[in-house]
Amino acid sequence: MALSLKEGRSLGVSTPFNEALTLLIKARNDQTIQEIHGPEIDYEALERRSK
């Protein structure tokens, strides 16, 4: 049984694969929104948000 990111955090269990996958999905989503709507992505803000 795989732990979701939220479940892992609530149990104090590390879920590095899920964390990495979540960050990749968020980054891809931000890139798609930028391509559609035009404003540039603030990569420094994205980096801060990922921590």
Question: Is 32:42 a contact under the CB 8 Å cutoff?
Answer: no
**pTM, entire model:** 0.56
Q: What was the pLDDT predicted at 1?
A: 57
Would the pLDDT of 2 be above 70? no
What does the pLDDT look like over 4-51, one tens digit per residue?
Answer: 878 888 888 888 888 899 899 999 998 898 889 887 778 899 899 987
CB neighbour class for 9 (10 Å; exposed up to 12, middle 13-18, buried from 19): middle
